[in-house]
Structure 1
Amino acid sequence: MSENILKISGLKIAYGGIQAVKGIDLEVNKGELVTLIGANGAGKTTTLKAITGTLPGCKVEGQIHYVGSSIMGTNSFELVKKNLAMVPEGRGVFTRMSILENLMMGAYTRSDKAGIQADIDKWFGVFPRLKERSAQLAGTLSGGEQQMLAMARALMSHPKLLLLDEPSMGLSPIMVEKIFEVVRTVSAQGVTILLVEQNAKLALQAAHRGYVMDSGLITMNGNAKDMLDDPKVKEAYLGEG
Structure 2
Amino acid sequence: MVANDSQPAVRENVLRISGLKVAYGGIQAVKGIDLEVNKGELITLIGANGAGKTTTLKAITGTLPNCRVEGHIDYAGEAIKGVGSFDLVKKKLAMVPEGRGVFTRMSIHENLLMGAYTRDDKAGIDADIDKWFAVFPRLKERAAQMAGTLSGGEQQMLAMARALMSHPKLLLLDEPSMGLSPIMVEKIFEVVRTVSAEGVTILLVEQNAKLALQAAHRGYVMDSGLITMSGAGADMLNDPRVKEAYLGEG
1:11 aligns with 2:20: yes
Matches within 5 A, 1:124-139: 124-139=133-148
Q: Distance in 2 between matches of 1:182 and 1:114?
A: 23
Q: Which residue of 1 aligns with 2:236?
A: 227
Matched residue type, 2:144: A
State the partner residue of 1:198. Answer: 207
Deviation at 1:125, TM superposition (A): 1.9
Q: How does 1:141-220 map to 2 (within 5 A)?
A: 141-220=150-229
Query: Which whole-Å CA distance do the structure 2 matches of 1:124 and 1:193 have between them?
Result: 21
The 5-angstrom pairing of residues 62-141 of structure 1 reads 62-141=71-150
Please tell me the residue identity of whatever aligns with 2:80.
I
Gaps of at least 5 residues in structure 2 are 1-9
Residue 40 of structure 1 is aligned with which of 49, 56, 59? 49
| Structure 1 stretches of 4+ moved >4 Å | none
Task: State percent identity of aligned pairs.
Answer: 87
Counterpart of 1:162, as a letter, is L
SS in 1 for 2:49: coil
Measured in 2, the distance between the counterparts of 1:46 and 1:167 equals 16
Structure 1 spans left out of the alignment, 5+ residues: none
| 3-state SS, counterpart of residue 157 of structure 1 | coil
1:79 & 1:138 partners in 2: Cα distance? 24
How far the C-alpha of 1:56 sits from its partner, in A, is 2.3
Measure the CA separation in 2 of the matches of 1:145 and 1:35: 23
CA RMSD of aligned residues (A): 0.8
